[in-house]
A and B are shown apart, each in its own frame.
Chain A
Amino acid sequence: MKRFFYTVTVLATLGLSSCKDFLETTPDDFVTPANYYRNEEEVNAALAGVYDILGRNQTYGRTLWWELDVADQFFDNRSNAIVDFSLNNYDATDTKVAGLWQSLYLGINRANMLLENLDKADMPQDAKTKVLGQAKFLRAYYYFLLVTNWGDVPLRLNATASVKEVNIPKTPSRTIYDFIVREMEEAEAMVEVTGTKNTGGTTVIYKFNHAGRVTNTIVQGILARVNLKMAGAPLNDRSRYSEVIKWATKVKESGLHSLNPSYKQIFINHMQDRYDLQYRESMWEAEFASAGPALRMKKVHWG
């Protein structure tokens, strides 16, 4: 009997001492942020995750060029639909309103997460800087879409860390515009240079054969646009016009972009999913999945 009690005691003690380890399980089906962003590959994937927002249905995949833009290109006239964003008959429950808002903040949170974790990645500094520039630019761009559509919105510059962060105040749109300009100006110096053109000459070296990657002329072009928006309603900050000229001039002086003399060719190119390497009039394009034979849609941004 004593021996029996002894055995039980030993077993129980063994059990207790290993309790701690016993309850520490580790997932083998996914990674946590703590063990991610370790190298260039993972950082690039995270960056693609920030870009991913541009191609969603809730943004340039549909809502931004259809429901939000439908006016002169075509009219939405479906017999069964009587309540819709595109029919100017909608309320706050319209999922497209929430969808755009949600997608932009998704992109912002992904960018915040990447920016917070970039330091720990083991990769060349140069590549790191380029990622930093793109992430900063995209985050600022998503804020630009938010302020232009909603005005004052929450300005979140850190990745959400807790489910308790639910009471988030609005930030005045002026502060957000200033932030956008500051960030984009920083990014302009960090991102890839679109290409080079020797002064006075005709030799042009482009870095990419597409307009999906954010490069310096794209940032310059968008900066001109952001400043232009600030100069007009609702901020009416007329001092911004000089900035518009400054950034637009930079684009012009790069010599990398010019207007395509054939207006219709622009659309033909889009439909053929071909990037116009001759004129590069379309400076930045949202890219979509093109794996299958399905219709590809592209949205032009005029820089």
Chain B
Amino acid sequence: MKKNLHPFNLVLLGLALQCTVGNTGAMAASAGKPMTEAPAHSLKKRERLPVPTEITGKVTSASGEALAGVTVVLKGTTLATSTNGNGIFSLRLPEASGTLVFTYIGYTTREVPVTNATVYNIKLSEDAQALQEIEVVNIGYGEARRADLTGSIGTVNMADLYKAPVKSFDEALAGRVAGVQVTSSEGQPGSPINIVIRGANSITQNNAPLYVIDGFPIEDPSINALSPNEIESIDILKDASATAIYGARGANGVILITTKKGKAGTPSITYSGYYGIQESNKRMPVLSPYEFVKLQQELDPIKTAELYLAGKGKTLEDYRNVQGYDWEDAIMQTAPIQSHQVSLSGGSEKTRYTLSASYFDQEGVIINSGFDRFQSRFSLTQDVSEKLRVNVNASYSQYKSYGTPPSAGQGSGQNNLLYSVWGYRPVSSEGINLIELTDDPEIETNNEFRFNPILTVQNELRDNNFETLIGNAFADYSILKNLKLRVAGGVTRSSRKFEFFNGSKSRSAQANDKVNGGFTNIASTSWQSINTLTFDKKIASHHNLNVVGVFSAEGSEGSTYGATAKLLPNETLGLSGLDEGTVGTVSAASSDWTLLSFLSRVNYNYKSKYLLTVSLRADGSSKFATGNKWSYFPSGSFAWQLGKEEFMKELTFINSAKIRTSWGITGNNRVGDYSYMPRITVPQDGGYFFGNQPSKGSYPTDLGNSDLKWESTRQVDLGIDLALFNHRVTFTADVYRKTTDDLLLNANLPLSTGYSRGFKNIGKVQNQGLEMALGLSPIQGKEFTWTTDINISFNRNKVLSLAENETSLLTAIGWDYGWTAIPAYIAKIGKPIAQMYGLIWDGVYTYEDFDVSASGAYSLKDLVPDNGTPRNSIRPGDIKYRDINQDGVINEYDKTIIGNPNPIHFGGISNNFAYKGFDLSVFFQWSYGNDVINANRIFLESGYRYNVNQYATFADRWSEENPTSNIPRAKGQLYSTYSSRIVEDGSFIRLKTVQLGYRVPQHLLSRAKIKSLRLYVAAQNLHTWSNYSGYDPEVSVRPGALTEGFDYSAYPRARTTTVGLDVTF
């Protein structure tokens, strides 16, 4: 997104332009300011001329947008005016001759001869060079011209981002900026989206970037609270020279968000809205009734005869044409999505305001789930005097995400929603309608937790109600001409109320607890005070100096309170009846932190040719013990505008060329507020019963670590920025290396210490990579334009060291209680942080692997290894694993790395086409070379349990009739282990966003007093090309550096199609 320069600077530029056309009398025009009329005296002078003509007209951009503040001058005179907020100008000419000159910042100046016509509708085209010159970038605690940047900063093209019909910007960010990896954990509306910039630094701690919204840093922002339409710009700080000014919190990168502010001009009311539908067309086919019964026969012929065949007077063939239950269709829906936003904005030269309200409502493709939000925002800027400017912002957002989360761990993997959807039987005996029953009466209930998925989604309430209130203000005061002070302060209050209720027909209520429910209230208040002094001076015309000094103080406190109750007598009362039940657990917690910072940054350049930035930040945090509270984060960077050198002038196709390099140290403080302190806990269930009399127990639960300090990341970056062929080609590339040491590691401790884990600064991780962005304008015609942007990122992550004596770190995933101790991931020195870990799958045992006794019994040949189960139980068709240590036994010692969740590269391609009033935007996003653990297949493609339906792919399993299959036979994989069989290639390319818009011509709108009207159709997640067998390859239901790319019962991803309109009055 290109932003306009400070209005003050525009005035200067405007004046400069005026001078070039020899007009000294006219007032300067500036964007966002209504033009003053041409001074009356100058008109008077010319009144002696014979036939005065009144002309009028409208000035628009190539795409038809009205341009306000365009200067219109009659060439060679002082006669001038400028366009108003609707792009309209009128001018009284002394006679119908001469030439009109239209000038506007960032656009090519146009000269139009005056004819007899009185209406002049003019289109101005953008001037790439000029736009480049004025594009400014938020660099944190200030702004800089993009041309003067020395660090690596990615800017999101907001015009493109707005085109995606999504609830929040992070849903549309993937593939937009090089070096920024965005992964949505699953498709549920409101589910978390993980953003990792230039690879994960931290092994056990959070790798999320720091967000800075309107200048206020927020570690854990509610991105869902913010409507994408409220965002003016997003800049992403990537290298250390850019992030070091955020010191202790900068190591994971920084996302700077600026919200929309009012612009001067006649008040305008804008409505933006769309309505659409979402659907998930991907289904996981399951076995048909025939195939299902056939499988049961293999699993247990005796039971099957009774339940399905002879006992019911049927044969297998009778099931051929039976229509099975379609559980998947029953819980899915075509869901509506809608968004409406109204904003009022306007103001005078001294007062600018904007006021907006928006409503967003997205139902999920699984019934009874979704997300909705109401947001309103207000921003006012007032110039109190020449020296003082005050700005106030307030924003309130109320949003809710609801619905049973299918992937959340619930003890047994059988409790997850989609297990019941896929695993429920497709057939039942006559007279038993499974759709209406809570559970299946014909299956053994021992160890069976399947539950009617339709009733689950209908009778489980899972509501997350959020509220965010942000209020902040700043005052800018010009102490001297070159010295400016900004005093800013803000408060953010946010709360989350989680409510759950299990109605009588839910799974939970069918067990001992009966009807039950509960709530948790999590609230936090944070405040910030940021004081900035900026000194900006041009010395001896070639030396440009900008010095910033900042003092800031921040703090936050939060609390959690909650209670649950069971055996609620009055279900109809819902959660209000909680007081009538038997009290379950009560939770209460509180915490707080403070942070104090000083920083200084010096930007210096000589003729904008040699550019230098140095910065130093000192952060003091309450999260560490006295003596370790303060730390210092330096950085330096240098850039050379090669293109401005004399020897480059001959290469006329090069518009600009810049080489950048930077070095710096940043930190990560993502650790508990009091992790450094030892802790004594009195838990609810701890203690002892002396003679059945409870006696509460207390004991140390956390060892603490008074030596704890920041994790620090050193980063070097080398980059190049090129603009070629009249800015038709732009190219940016960066190589970087980040080394993070003194990791804040929640390290394993020897259990003989009495603790299993403790925080310490130990371990080292390295990320290095290459990122490139290419912008092209292949066609720049008068009528038709085509621009394309491509970016690609490569990051290589490597663990350099772990805790003392530790060469690897194993991580298990608690998706099922039988699997909580089976490692799925390994972090190994010399390898990326997360690697999938398990056995190598070697197909199935074939007849050749066995000796056959006289009685026809199979026994494994001596040299053939087992598969984790007792040798004498292994049969042809059982799963086979590679015996890595060749001891004939498959166990832990045969496990190795079986997959890598990190992509080799990822990126995006965005194409924009414009033809007359039409515009088309097509955006692809990809990730290549990453693996996914598809844990669904452990339960649903293994025939592991009687009466559990399986994926249709399991029909092709090994059997005596199908001996060439490499899918293990029914019950042929009983040893619980991850293996390469369920590790799949998660590479994909997605047609992510497509929008076709039409701007209705102005002349059709003027009568209806409409300034502009644009209609569009848009689609999100239109199509994904991937070999992944599950719902969607972009999945990570246990997000975190150690456990990326895990899929179990993940919510499907919807395809969204919308129609919308943007109208301005």
Contact = CB atoms under 8 A, between A and B. Distances in A.
Partners in one complex: yes
Interface of A: 1, 4, 8, 12, 15, 19, 22-25, 27-34, 36, 42, 44-46, 48-52, 54-55, 80, 82-83, 89, 91-93, 95, 98, 101-102, 105-106, 108-110, 112-113, 153-154, 156, 159-160, 162-168, 208-210, 212-213, 273, 275, 287-291
Nearest to B559: A29
A23 B479 contact: no
Contacts of A30: 674, 679-681
A48 B697 contact: yes
Interface stretch (B74-82, B149-157, B449-457, B588-596): B588-596
B694 A291 contact: yes
Contacts of B707: 162
Kindly name the residue among A52, A82, A153 whose own CB sees the greatest number of chain B CB atoms within 10 A: A52
Contacts of B1008: none
A32 B677 contact: yes
B551 interface: yes
B553 A166 contact: no
3 nearest A-B residue pairs (beta carbon): A109-B754, A210-B691, A49-B699
Given A33-B680, A105-B753, A156-B752, A42 B698 contact: yes
B749 A163 contact: yes
Nearest to B620: A23
Contacts of A105: 751-754
B677 A109 contact: no
Nearest to A210: B691
Contacts of A275: 691
Given A30-B680, A166-B750, A168-B750, A209 B553 contact: no
29 contacts: A15-B553, A19-B596, A22-B594, A25-B673, A27-B591, A27-B673, A27-B674, A30-B674, A32-B704, A33-B678, A33-B700, A45-B697, A46-B698, A48-B687, A49-B686, A49-B697, A91-B892, A95-B821, A98-B751, A108-B754, A154-B752, A162-B703, A162-B705, A167-B804, A212-B690, A213-B691, A287-B688, A287-B690, A289-B685
A165 B700 contact: no
B114 to A, nearest CB: 52
Contacts of A163: 703, 705, 747, 749, 758-760
Interface in B552-603: 553, 589-594, 596
A25 B703 contact: no
B42 interface: no
A22 B752 CA distance: 38
B869 A32 contact: no
A287 B753 CA distance: 25
B754 A290 contact: no
B891 interface: yes
Contacts of B698: 36, 42, 45-46, 48-49
A163 B622 CA distance: 20
Interface of B: 479-480, 485, 551, 553, 589-594, 596, 620-622, 626, 629, 673-674, 677-682, 685-692, 694-700, 703-705, 707, 747, 749-756, 758-760, 803-805, 821, 868-870, 873, 891-892, 974-976
Contacts of B758: 163
A82 B870 contact: yes
A42 to B, nearest CB: 7
A159 B622 contact: no
Given A44-B695, A108-B754, A212 B688 contact: yes
Nearest to B753: A160
Contact of B699 (A52, A80, A154, A209): A52
Contacts of B753: 105, 109, 156, 160, 165-166, 168
A41 B629 CA distance: 35
A108 B753 CA distance: 9
Kindly name the residue among B596, B697, B803 whose own CB sees the greatest number of chain A CB atoms within 10 A: B697
Kindly name the residue among A1, A49, A54, A105 whose own CB sees the greatest number of chain B CB atoms within 10 A: A49
Contact of B621 (A23, A80, A92, A160): A23
A212 B691 contact: yes
Contacts of B974: 80, 82
Given A25-B592, A54-B688, A113 B700 contact: yes
A273 B693 CA distance: 13
Nearest to B822: A93
A10 to B, nearest CB: 13
A49 B681 CA distance: 10
A166 B754 contact: no
B678 A110 contact: no
Contacts of B674: 27, 29-30
Nearest to A154: B752
A286 to B, nearest CB: 9
Contact of B593 (A25, A46, A51, A80): A25
A101 B749 CA distance: 13
B691 A287 contact: yes
A277 B73 CA distance: 111
B690 A110 contact: no
Contact of A48 (B589, B695, B751): B695
B679 to A, nearest CB: 5
Contacts of B687: 45, 48-49, 51-52
A188 B821 CA distance: 41
Contacts of A209: 691
